[in-house]
Structure formats: C-alpha cells, structure tokens
C-alpha cells in the first residue's frame, strides 16, 4: 500500500513548526497549498499517494491553477511550496529526486514597490485613538459614573439615588444622600469631573427625562443600583481599548513590527530605559530593535490600565477576555483608525512597517541598520525601499549638488 500524501504533508508541517520554527502564517499558507494539491491529485475517491507527486501530475495541477486565474507571482509561490516539500521528501529518503524542480518557471514582473504613508498620514493614523469622535450620552454617563466612584468614593446605591438638586455644576459641589435617606457630606469634585458632569447634563437635556434622578438610561429612566458597576466597567474598557490601540499603532510604526511580532510581545519584551524591543521574528529569529519615545509613553499609559482585563499568557496586547490579540484583530484595528484618520486607501499593519523603513531611509539611516531593525535576512529584501526613496533623493540631489544643474546652466548661458 502506497504512503498517503496527506500523512506526509502532516509530517512535513509538524517538522516545519517544531524544528524549523515556521511562523503560524507560513504554516497556514503551506497547509492550504499542500492540502489543495492532495485533494486535486486524488482520483475518483482515491486519496492521493506519494506516487502522485510526480512531474506530470504537478505540471497538470499548476496548469489548472493558471487557467483558474493565478497571477505569475501566485504561480511562483505555489512552485516554491511544492519545491520545498519535494526537497523534504528527498531528504527523508522518500524520493530520489525532487520532481518540483522540473516544473516550469513563470517570469514575474519586478517586485511591486511597497505602499507607504506620508509622515503626516502616519502621525494622524497612530494618534487617531486619542482623537476619537465625540462620544454620545451613554459614553459620557459611563465616564461620569466611573469618575464619581473613583474620585468621590461613592457606591452604586448612593450614585443611583442622586438627583439633579444634589449637584452644583458651577461650584463643583456634590451633596449625596446617604444610605436610608440620611444626608451625606458635601463633596468637592475635581475640575475634570466637574467638566464631565457639565457635558453630561447638556446631553441629558436632550432626553425626555421621566424623573429627577441624575443618572438616566437612554430612555430617560433612572438607573438602578445594579446598573452602576457595569456602566463603570464599560467606561474602563473603552479607555483601555483606546490606550491599547494607541500603544499598538505607535509600536507598529515606531519599531517597524510585523503584526505577528506585535501580538507575540510580552511586557518583558520592552526595555524602557534603553528604548529597545526584543522581537521574536520570522523563522524563529530573535532581534532587538529600537522604538521611539512616543511609543514608549503610549505603552506605559496602556500598562497602567492593562491589569483590569486580567491578561492571560502574559501577552502585552490583550483583548477584553485577557487573551492575546490575533493578527486578524491587529489588521482590523489598523483599518478602523486609518478610516478615522481620513486615509482613503487600503492600509494594513505592513503599510506601517513599510512606512517605518521608508521614512528612516529618507532621513539618511544606513540601509544595513534598517535591515537589522526589520529582521531581513538578505539586504536585497531591504533594498527595495531604496527604490521607493530614489525619487526624493533625486530631488534633493538636484537642489543640493553644485554640479547637478551645471549642464543646463552651460547650454542656457
């Protein structure tokens, strides 16, 4: 009985993950491609076997994919996966030679230049969480509740019992009733809380109030004591998400990280004194890269709030359940704030990485230093950013070099 191709694929992928440290993204891509191949090579319900992994079958498979619309670059990636798998089969003594090496190559265009943001666009994007649209009535109410609980040390039953007559906005005084109707002491609100109360009352005036209680729901009815703690938690979560997203965006741009690298960070990955980040990069390679003061400030502010979500597995960037953010979540966060920043084109986490490299190169940073910061194995991979910056370098050269315009001057003189 011939060996099942799927079993060999599973064995290959396990080795890629365990011994070679392939990233989850790489493993998903390889699994998808190889399982698609196995399904294609099987015939009339018969699972594909090692014998089906031959030049004729592989040529037919790639031809079908090309007819299905594969671009040259996609064809090249498929061929690369098949060649890698075939080489592994040879190394393990399953085949004498790699049939994928005999597959035709398709000439691809030169690598597309990476998309990047201007410095102004990048700044607007990473600061977008700090400039969210004006929150509505519910958000202001929740923030006021959280402020009064924290600043004035008031419990839920006392807050729920407050009436409009218990507050003086101009003086910032609060006269809460005590438990069982016993009048409590006069409290002085901090200026920030007083301003929040003032704005909340403006929004409250737009509701159809059904009672004189201070804290209402969206229908104008009074909140019950049991409603107070959830409202406070909702505000803390909003504040936490805003600060987490700001820290994440600053770090993606400030250190040129991949999304997968960012979600793999822990608080111990950061050296605040030296301004460095230890990154577990592509292919399981560790590197240390610098990041800016803006990112470090944002991360510090986020870490002050982070314990509220009780993060698991010590992930630096966590969701409300304490689990590490996924790369998909990072992509959605970037897209959301790019839209809020008014950037009218697709933006991904990798766009920020490209922007990081391009802006450093334009500022005169050595290409080899950028290579190390990005974690590229080959300088050729980093050199593509020189093509991006070449146009601007030419403009700077024309303005700065004493002989840049000499020929024109001579012939026009």
- Which residues lie below 8 Å from residue 190, measured CB to CB, with a gap of 6+? 147, 151, 172
Choose, from 79, 124, 204, 376, the residue flagged as catalytic: 376
Q: How far apart are CA 365 and CA 371, in angstroms?
A: 10
376 is known as an active-site residue: yes
Sign of the four-CA dihedral 236, 238, 241, 245: negative
Q: Of the residues 124, 204, 353, 354, which is catalytic?
A: 353
CA 93 to chain centre: 42
75 in active site? no
Q: 56: left (phi > 0), else alpha (psi -120 to 50), else beta?
A: alpha
Give yes or no: 258 in active site.
yes
Q: How many DSSP H helices and E strands does the chain contain?
A: 16, 6
Catalytic-labelled residue, pool 79, 213, 246, 282: 282
Nearest to 196 by CA among 149, 229, 237, 155: 149
Give the other-Cβ count within 10 Å of 198's Cβ.
13
Mark whether 140 is an active-site residue: no
- Residue 309 CA to residue 47 CA, distance in Å, equals 47
CB–CB of 225/219 below 8 Å? Answer: no
- Tell me which of 75, 79, 124, 258 is the catalytic residue: 258
Of 301, 256, 307, nearest to 277 (Cα)? 256
Active-site annotation, residues: 258, 282, 350, 353, 376, 385
């Amino acid at each position: 009985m011939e060996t099942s191709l799927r079993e060999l694929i599973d064995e290959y992928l396990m080795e890629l993950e365990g011994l070679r440290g392939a990233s989850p993204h790489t493993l998903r891509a390889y699994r998808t491609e190889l399982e698609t191949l196995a399904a294609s090579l099987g015939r009339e319900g018969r699972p594909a076997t090692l014998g089906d992994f031959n030049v004729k079958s592989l040529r037919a498979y790639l031809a079908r994919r090309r007819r299905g619309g594969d671009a040259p670059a996609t064809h090249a990636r498929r061929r690369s996966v098949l060649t890698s798998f075939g080489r592994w089969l040879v190394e393990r003594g399953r085949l004498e030679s790699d049939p994928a090496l005999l597959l035709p190559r398709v000439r691809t265009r030169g690598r597309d230049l990476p998309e990047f943001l201007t410095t102004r666009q990048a700044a607007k994007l990473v600061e977008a969480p700090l400039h969210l649209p004006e929150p509505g009535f519910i958000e202001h109410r929740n923030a006021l509740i959280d402020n009064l609980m924290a600043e004035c040390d008031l419990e839920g039953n006392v807050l729920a019992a407050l009436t409009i007559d218990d507050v003086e906005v101009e003086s910032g005084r609060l006269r809460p009733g005590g438990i069982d109707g016993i009048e409590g002491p006069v409290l002085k609100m901090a200026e920030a809380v007083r301003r929040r109360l003032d704005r909340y009352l403006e929004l409250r005036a737009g509701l159809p109030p059904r009672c004189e209680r201070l804290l209402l729901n969206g229908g104008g009815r009074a909140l019950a004591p049991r409603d107070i703690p959830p409202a406070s938690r909702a505000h803390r979560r909003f504040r936490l998400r805003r600060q987490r997203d700001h820290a994440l965006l600053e770090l993606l741009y400030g250190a040129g990280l991949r999304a997968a690298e960012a979600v793999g960070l822990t608080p111990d990955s950061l050296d605040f004194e030296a301004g460095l980040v230890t990154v577990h990069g592509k292919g399981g390679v560790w590197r240390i890269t610098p990041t800016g003061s803006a990112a470090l400030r944002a991360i510090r502010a986020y870490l002050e709030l982070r314990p509220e979500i009780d993060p698991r597995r010590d992930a630096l960037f966590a969701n409300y359940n304490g689990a590490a953010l996924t790369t998909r979540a990072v992509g959605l966060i970037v897209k959301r704030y790019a839209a809020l920043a008014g950037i009218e084109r697709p933006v991904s986490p990798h766009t920020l990485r490209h922007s990081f490299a391009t802006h450093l190169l334009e500022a005169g940073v050595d290409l080899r230093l950028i290579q190390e910061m990005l974690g590229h194995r080959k300088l050729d991979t980093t050199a593509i950013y020189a093509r991006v910056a070449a146009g601007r370098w030419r403009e700077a050269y024309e303005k700065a070099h004493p002989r840049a315009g000499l020929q024109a001057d001579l012939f026009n003189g």
